[in-house]
Amino acid sequence: MAIYDIKEAKPAPINNRGIIFWLRKNLFSDIKNSLLSVFCIYFLYLTVPPALDWLFFSATWSGSQEDIVNDGARWIFIIEKFDQFIYGFYPEALHWRPLFVAALTVAFIASVKLLKNIKLKIIIILLYPFVSIVFIHGGLFGLETVETNKWGGLMLTVIVAAVGIIASFPIGILLALGRQSDMPIVKTLCVGFIEFVRGVPLITILFMASVVLPLFFHDGIDFDKLLRALIGITLFQAAYIAEVVRGGLQAIPKGQYEASESLGLSYWQGMILIILPQALKISIPNLVGSFISLFKDTTLVLIIGLFDILAMVTLTNSDSNWLGYEVEGYVFVTFIYWVFCFSMSQYSKSVERRFNTELK
Amino acid sequence: MSTNEFMIRMENVNKWYGDFHVLKDVNLNVKKGEKVVICGPSGSGKSTTIRCLNHLEKFQQGKIFIGETELIEDVKIVRHIRSKVGMVFQHFNLFPHLSVLENLVIAPTWVHKKPRKEAIETAMYYLDRVKISDQANKYPNQLSGGQQQRVAVARCLCFNPEIMLFDEPTSALDPEMVSEVLDVMVELADEGITMICVTHEMGFAKKVADRVIFMDGGQIIEENEPHTFFEQPESDRLKLFLDQILSH
């Protein structure tokens, strides 16, 4: 038998710190590692300085085509065509309208986040899409109508992506719930829809929406090409959202369903209050992944004759005064896509952190 | 004796999972305020029995009455019965995305349509009763198992049920936390609520139960008041079972 004294807690041993230690530990821990490090550094030396030089140091930022002396990027092309990249063929005098809607969107997000009054929030949420459409499309309150075939550029990309994301989200959730339903007809319809849509490429759906669908309508009720594309994209995206949400639903332990049932909550109460908040939280990374691919896929509307930002770059390159500026155009578009997608991914991280009550 | 005295009546309840006969002619009557402990080896149908009472499990034959209401497959009737029956689970099943307080407020506000303020007051009262009112704003995963299970009990008490069902409430707990949950259950029993408890805590059964029921192979084998049940078991299967759980 023995009895031991209670031990005091001691501080953990201090690690070696400093640059030399870090380098030795991470880059030069053994011969293989050191060779790899040297190779990588050499590769970066070969690629990064010329890239920076082309992008910034030798680039032409202002003036006209005659002022170009260096062989760096000629950003004057972007500056010259900037309005077309952003607004497409939207009449120049009316550019303030989409700009106003962009500002409105910022105000909308801020007010939804900050306002405490739920009724006011709901009014704002219901009003926002209507006001946005009126301002961009016009035709009401004395605003001049701008047909959707004039919409283009980044504005169109954002509209298509935003409508696709916002409209597909509730539909996707309903499809996921339907797929799990006990009701055989609902279940069959949902499974059938999801599996059909996931089995065809987005291009096919866009072609169907733009070419095949009008065949079923009489000439009088042929509706807008953009609207048809939006419906197609929304339904396409909804099928993917449904599968992502289903994954989240399946990860929720059976006990959660049983607890919410045993408390007397109805099916919809249980889903909305208990199951979906948890399932959607698990699904955030995949949902955002799916939204990011949608954002990039919107560029496919090009093939049914809508000019998104990528299509605008291709188009402006055929301007006979500005031939040979493809590289600058595509680098610019790449940058724009990256900014949007990276922001979405960062936003999703912050949302995940906010909802983390598991404290892992 | 009039049947109306019974809070729970199960008449010849039979249940099958596919071809497997899980409950065989289960008959169980529980009076208002009675405390019943059900024990038996695993797979004997004891959990299934009490899960039938709030329709977490369907049964194919027989009848169940909760108070005056017959339990049939009708959304309204099932919800009505569930609003009178509280259930505590082996794995607590608290809602991890809601704070402790919100876990307690959700059923009173959404099912029983109480004003939120009143629901919060009730919730704080019962949290105090189970001695964790200081944890009200924490999330379930920040609490120990014993604390979580006490929250789960309080969550049921908040809607003032007439019947409490306990499905192995201490089986998932670390040994040193079993007693804090049992204490709460004993206190509850003293107040006269109708209770059915599936448990292997024989000390609890001896102390609290009016009647102990032994189930095996989907049927009730033996039932008696606790003293006789433990001291003079009649059936061989119960003798063997008691030997096994009390031998060490």
Measure A357 CA to nearest chain B CA, in Å.
6
Q: Which of A258, A281, A359 sits opposite B89 (nearest CB)?
A: A258
| A183 reaches B (C-beta below 8 A) | no
Q: What does the pLDDT read at residue B1?
A: 45
Identify the pLDDT of residue B67: 87
Q: Do B79 and A264 touch (CB under 8 A)?
A: yes
Same domain, A217 and A163: yes
For B127, phi and psi rounded to 5 degrees? -65, -35
Segment among A66-70, A161-165, B60-64 with least mean pLDDT: A66-70
In DSSP terms, B23 is beta-bridged to B15
**Residue A236 shares a structural domain with residue A311:** yes
Provide the H-helix boundaries in A27-117. 31-52, 76-87, 96-114
Domain that holds residue A130: 85-146
Q: Is residue A212 included in any domain, yes or no? A: yes
Q: Nearest to residue B40, comparing CAs of B220, B214, B243?
A: B214
Kindly provide the b/e burial profile for residues A210-221, where b requires at least 16 CB atoms within 10 angstroms of the residue's own CB. beeeeeeeeeee
Q: For the residues of A208-267, what is the DSSP string, one character each?
A: IIIIIGGGGS-GGG---HHHHHHHHHHHHHHHHHHHHHHHHHHHS-HHHHHHHHHTT--H
The C-alpha of B230 sits at a distance from chain A's nearest C-alpha, in angstroms, of 32
Average pLDDT, chain A: 84
For residue B156, which residues of chain A lie inside 8 Å, CB to CB? 263
Residues A137 and A175 in one domain: no
Give domain status of residue A25, yes or no: no
Q: Is A346 a domain residue?
A: yes
B49 in reach of chain A (CB within 8 A):
no
Residue A260 forms contact with B (CB below 8 Å): yes
B95/A256 CB distance under 8 A: yes
Task: Give the CA-trace dihedral at A321, A325, A328, A331, to 10 degrees.
Answer: 120
Looking at the fold, whether A117 and A165 belong to one and the same domain comes out as no
Mean pLDDT computed over A240-265: 93
A23 belongs to a structural domain: no
Instruction: Return the pLDDT at A3.
Output: 86
Q: Does the CB of B203 have a partner CB in chain A at under 8 Å?
A: no
Q: Are residues A204 and A268 in the same domain?
A: yes
Residue A360 is predicted with a pLDDT of 45
Question: For A51-65, A185-199, B135-149, which range has the lowest pLDDT when averaged over its residues?
Answer: A51-65
State the CATH number of the domain containing residue A324: 1.10.3720.10
Q: What is the mean pLDDT of residues A75-99?
A: 80
pLDDT at A358: 63
Residue A254, pLDDT score: 92
3-state secondary structure at position B66: strand
Cβ distance of A259 and B94 shorter than 8 Å: yes
Residue A91 confidence (pLDDT) above 60 = yes
Q: Do B93 and A259 lie within an 8 Å CB cutoff?
A: yes
Averaged pLDDT for residues A31-38: 90
Q: What is the ipTM of this complex?
A: 0.90
Alpha-carbon distance B162 to B53, whole Å? 13
Of A126, A146, A166, the position where a domain reaches its end is A146
Mean per-residue pLDDT, A223-247: 89
Query: Looking at the partner chain, which of B89, B107, B110 has a beta carbon nearest the beta carbon of A255?
Result: B89
Q: Which one of B75, B98, B142 has the shortest CB-CB distance to A359?
A: B142
Which residue, among B33, B139, B30, has the nearest Cα to B92 in the 3D structure? Answer: B139
Three-class SS state of B91: coil
Tell me which chain B residues have a C-beta less than 8 angstroms from the C-beta of A277.
Answer: 97
Per-residue pLDDT at A218:
66
**B116 in contact with A at a CB cutoff of 8 Å?**
no
**Contact: B82, A263; criterion CB under 8 Å:** yes
For B90, residues 6+ apart whose C-beta sits below 8 A from its C-beta are: B167, B168, B169, B171, B172
A198 and A231 together in one domain: yes
Is residue B144 within 8 angstroms of chain A, CB to CB? no
Q: Which pLDDT belongs to residue A118? A: 82
Residue of A nearest to B110 (CA): A265
Pair A134, A177 in one domain: no
Is A141 in the same domain as A183?
no
Which helix (H) or strand (E) segment holds residue A308: the answer is strand A307-308
Kindly report the nearest CA distance between residue B193 and chain A, in angstroms: 17
* Dist. CA A226–CA B115, nearest whole Å: 47
Q: Is A356 in the B-facing interface, judged by CB distances under 8 Å?
A: no
Q: Residue B26 forms beta bridges with which residues?
A: B13
Mutation site, B79, B93, B112, interface A, largest A CB count within 10 A:
B93
Helices A225-251 and A184-198 cross at an angle (nearest 10°) of 120
Nearest to B141 among A255, A258, A358 (CB): A358
> Which residues of chain A have a CB within 8 Å of the CB of B95?
256, 259-260, 274, 278
Tell me the mean pLDDT in the region A333-346: 91
pLDDT higher at B15 or A220: B15
CB atoms within 10 A of CB A70: 12
pLDDT category at A17 given cuts 50, 70, 90 is low
**A178 CA to centre of own chain:** 26
* Cβ-based contacts under 8 A for chains A and B: 65
To test the contact with chain B by mutation, choose from A258, A260, A261, A262 the residue with the greatest count of B C-beta atoms within 10 A, namely: A262
- DSSP, collapsed to helix, strand or coil, labels residue B216 as strand
Q: What is the pLDDT of residue B5?
A: 78
Q: Across the interface, do B54 and A262 touch by the CB < 8 Å criterion?
A: yes
Who among A264, A278, A355 is closest to B111 (CB)?
A264
Q: Is residue A18 part of a domain?
A: no
Under 8 Å between Cβ of B214 and B39: yes
The whole-number pLDDT of residue B116 equals 92
Q: Of A169-178, A216-225, B101-110, which range is least confident?
A: A216-225
Selecting from B86, B87, B96 the residue whose C-beta is nearest the C-beta of A358 gives B96
φ/ψ of A263, rounded to 5, equals -80, -5
Residues A124 and A161 grouped into a single domain:
no
**Considering only CB atoms, which chain A residues are within 8 Å of B155?**
263
Alpha helices (H) in chain B, listed in sequence order: 46-53, 75-82, 100-110, 116-129, 145-157, 175-190, 202-208, 226-231, 236-246
pLDDT score, position A68: 73
Q: Given this model, what pLDDT does residue A15 score?
A: 66
Query: Domain end: A95, A127, A146, which one?
Result: A146
The share of chain A scoring above pLDDT 90, in percent, equals: 30
Same domain as A224, residue A92? no
Report yes or no on A291 lying in a domain.
Answer: yes
Is some CB atom of chain A closer than 8 A to the CB atom of B115?
no
Is B87 near chain A, with CB under 8 Å?
yes
Confidence at residue A16, expressed as pLDDT on a 0 to 100 scale: 64
Q: What is the DSSP letter of A320?
A: G
**Are both A115 and A172 inside the same structural domain?**
no
Query: Hey, are the CB atoms on B79 and A266 less than 8 Å from each other?
Result: yes
The CA distance from B243 to the nearest CA of chain A, in Å, is 33
Residue B7 C-alpha, separation from nearest chain A C-alpha, in angstroms: 18
In a 10 Å sphere around its CB, with 0-12 CB exposed, 13-18 middle and 19+ buried, how is residue A77 labelled?
buried
Number of structural domains found in chain A: 2
Q: How confident is the model at residue A222 (pLDDT cuts 50, 70, 90)?
A: low
Question: Taking 90 as the threshold, does the pLDDT of residue A104 lie above it?
Answer: no
Which residues of chain A neighbour B82 with C-beta distances below 8 Å?
Answer: 261-264
Measured between CB atoms, does A273 come within 8 Å of chain B? Answer: yes
pLDDT at res. B87:
94
Q: List chain B pLDDT tens, one digit each, 248 residues.
A: 445 678 999 999 999 998 899 999 999 999 998 999 999 998 899 999 999 998 999 999 999 999 888 898 888 999 999 989 999 999 999 999 999 999 999 999 999 899 999 999 999 999 998 988 898 999 999 999 999 999 999 999 998 899 999 999 998 888 888 999 999 999 888 888 999 999 988 888 998 899 999 999 999 999 999 999 988 999 999 999 988 887 66
Q: Is residue A196 part of a domain?
A: yes
Residues A104 and A215 in one domain: no
Which chain B residue has the Cα nearest residue A267?
B75
Name the pLDDT band for A131 (thresholds 50, 70, 90).
confident
Q: Is residue A40 part of a domain?
A: no
pLDDT above 80 for A171: yes
Q: Decide which of A128, A146, A164 is a domain's last residue.
A: A146
Question: What is the pTM for the complete model shown?
Answer: 0.83
